[in-house]
Amino acid sequence: MTIADKGTILLSDLFRKEQVKMTAVLCRHFGIKDLDFVEDMIAETFLRATEVWPHSGIPENPSGWLYTVAKNIARDSFRKNTTELNNFKNHFETNPKETLEVSFEENVIADSHLAMIFAVCENTLSAKGKICLSLQILCGLSVEEIAFALHSNKEAVKKILFRAREQLRESNFEIKNLSTDEIKLRMDSVLLTIYLLFNEGYSSKTKDSVIRIDLIKQAMNLGLSLLETKSAKTPELFALMSLFCFQASRLDSRISSQETVVVFQDQDKSKWDQNLIQKGNEYFLEAFSVPSRSRYHYEAAIAYWHTQNDSLEKWKYILSIYDNFLKIFNSPSVFLNRVFAYSKVFGKQKAIEEIKNYREDKTRDYFSLLGYLYSNLNNELASLHYQKAIQMTKPKKEIALLEQKIKELKLEEI
């Protein structure tokens, strides 16, 4: 592989990881209103890397190189472009030194990232507008990834993003220190953004990598930053962090040494991170110290039981939690997961009757579950359902898992 090829691959990876940090810092510094201007600066930064790295070689500290160039571009833009100076006249006149000195220190990035999410979650934007914009510009998710996260389609998400950006340009959005009441008003949207970011990292439906560690770390770090803010320490946040810890504890067991997906019941439990499970237990107790219950409480409770040894009693508890969860959050994923738990308690045949009540769009998860339920009852029908699931699946590793299930069904017929 040539230096140019290595540089291209590295840049692609860095763009995904670093452009989110750059957006947060630059928008906090210069203002969220002129998002297009900030995005242009970031694009120019990466363009310079594509021009320099193939000839000069990859820098010893690629991220540091990008941050230095981004700071220089920001400084030059304000010195040379009078139009942009006028756009930020007030800030420039009151903080001339600050405007020219952008910092990409780790603590500044973390603070800026969280401040930006709270700013975007300002209540004048629509509920979906807040979430879509946060996931795109502050979490780095593509339109396709956002559509999967929200069980929507790309065209709908594009329209939501367009309207949200227009509202940013027309409004008086600002990034400021928030009062306790303002933080509480925005917490629901902030938590949902972080939750959806973690989910895309934990089980990506649009990339070849089923697990995306960078997104998981990003979500967990944002949650930890929230825990440092007294007014943000809500039962919902503790429940969400508990869920993250329980889920993240199993990461090392979800992909085999052959780079294939390992389903939950086949995972090597000795690989589970006991420190994360213990931390999850601590957050879990904090979350349930008050009577209020959110979707994150139910999911954390289910994740907790998944850390326990397999038994009929365990699945009875999980089914009971899903029964109550479904009453407050009747989503396709909760319905299908409940049917799976139901099959563990009452058997596959009765679960097939339960799934007949499903009235939503027939998704990959729906057909995959049917494949599981019909396995050993009607293997031919099970294979057909797995085939339909494959047609709706993008990650190659998940396709390989479904294909392996079909092979196993055929072997049982021999």
Give pLDDT tens digits for 276-301: 999 999 999 999 998 889 999 999 99
Q: Is it the case that residue 97 has pLDDT exceeding 50?
A: no
DSSP line for 308-339: SPP-HHHHHHHHHHHHHHHHH---HHHHHHHH
Residue 197 token pair: 């970011």
45 backbone φψ class: left, alpha, beta (φ>0; ψ -120 to 50): alpha
Under 8 Å between Cβ of 41 and 104: no
The dihedrals phi and psi of 101, each to the nearest 5 degrees, come to -120, 95
Q: Is it the case that residue 87 has pLDDT exceeding 70?
A: no
**How open is the CA angle 359-363-369, to the nearest 5 degrees?**
90
Higher per-residue pLDDT: 202 or 410 = 202
| Rounded-to-integer distance, Cα 403 and Cα 388, Å | 11
pLDDT at position 76 is 79
Over residues 192-208, the mean pLDDT reads: 86
Q: Which of 63-77, 228-242, 329-343 has the lowest mean pLDDT?
A: 63-77
pLDDT in tens, 157-167: 999 999 988 88
Q: Is it the case that residue 194 has pLDDT exceeding 80?
A: yes
Q: Using 50, 70 and 90 to split pLDDT, how confident is the model at 6? A: low
Under 8 Å between Cβ of 211 and 251: yes
Q: Using 50, 70 and 90 to split pLDDT, how confident is the model at 99? A: very low
Q: Which of 230-244, 256-270, 346-360 has the lowest mean pLDDT?
A: 256-270
Using a pLDDT cut of 90, give the percent of the chain over it.
43
pLDDT in tens, 400-409: 999 999 999 9
